[in-house]
Amino acid sequence: MEHTGTLERILRAVALTLVVVFFMFPILWIFLMSFQTNETILRVPPSMVFEPTLANYKALITGKLETNAASIEINFLRNLWNSVFLSVTSVSLALLLGVPAAYAFARHKFKGSEDIAFTLLSFKFAPPLLVLLPLSLYFQKMGLADTYIGLIWVYQLICLPLILWIVRGYFEDISPDIEYAYRIAGHSWFATFRKIALPLAGPGIAAAGLLAFIFAWNNFIFALVLASADKQPVTVGALAFVTASGIQYGQIAAAVVMSITPTLALALYAQRYLVEGLSLGAVKG
């Protein structure tokens, strides 16, 4: 029995290592690329040995991209700020709208409530390209094209369904009697929502918010079509490194490292909530 146990442990360790290498290697390679020049990146065969340089990061921070042919102005830090602003604002708004809505769907069954909840979820089913053309036309007519408000609005398509469905599962998991006990002790339903339901669903709300933040941060297509360069996030901003004189792999790698750092840090910090929230959402949703 003990022998089987050891063998099992070894096999499990090997399998886990393979999985980790498979998923982590691209990130490691990009991290290494970000400290190399285009020449060392493109050499054949590739090598792990190189002389590290901070030139790529310097180019991003100073906004001057030196290519073989010319010097190009880029505004990567602006893109980074746009990403932070758009993601934080969109998620905040989605939490503000989605959490009370999730509570309502969890606690108050009314005619058509399931249909409404499902319609909101169905926003996630539709491919973004399907809605982009009508959206861009509407946005131009409404003066929302190339505005932060327009982008934040359209980002609700990404954030709101996620938050609604994950948080709804959490609220449904809390016994209504806990809230009744609080209400009967002399509190209004709103006080009960704030003091009992919200804190108890805290981990779920955190997980949903985190996930929505990652999805919003990673969005590419909406900002590509609906915003111009000064409103675009890093995912679109990275296109600037595809220049007439070639693809600037080093700068792209540095941009990727800088753009994934906030979400990676956030995910690592709150991974326990994320796993809990996702698994509960999967079961309940």
Q: Footprint of another protein on this chain (CB under 8 A)?
A: 175, 177-178, 180-189, 196, 199-200
CB of 213 to another protein, least distance (A): 26
Residue with tokens 């339903």: 189
CA distance 115 to 139: 27
Alpha helix (H) ranges present in the chain?
2-33, 38-42, 55-62, 76-107, 113-122, 128-142, 148-173, 176-184, 189-192, 198-200, 202-218, 221-226, 234-237, 249-269, 271-284
Question: Cβ closer to another protein: 187 or 284?
Answer: 187
Contact (CB, 8 A) for 98 and 198 = no
Question: Cβ closer to another protein: 93 or 174?
Answer: 174
For residue 175, report the phi and psi dihedrals to the nearest 5 degrees: -60, 130
Question: Cβ closer to another protein: 126 or 181?
Answer: 181
Question: Cβ closer to another protein: 176 or 246?
Answer: 176
CA distance 153 to 261: 25
CB of 167 to another protein, least distance (A): 18
CA distance 159 to 119: 14
Instruction: Residue count of the chain, please give it.
Output: 285
CB of 177 to another protein, least distance (A): 4
Question: Cβ closer to another protein: 68 or 188?
Answer: 188
Contact (CB, 8 A) for 160 and 97 = yes
Residue with tokens 């009744």: 180
CB of 195 to another protein, least distance (A): 9
CB of 230 to another protein, least distance (A): 46
CB of 270 to another protein, least distance (A): 19
Question: Cβ closer to another protein: 78 or 187?
Answer: 187
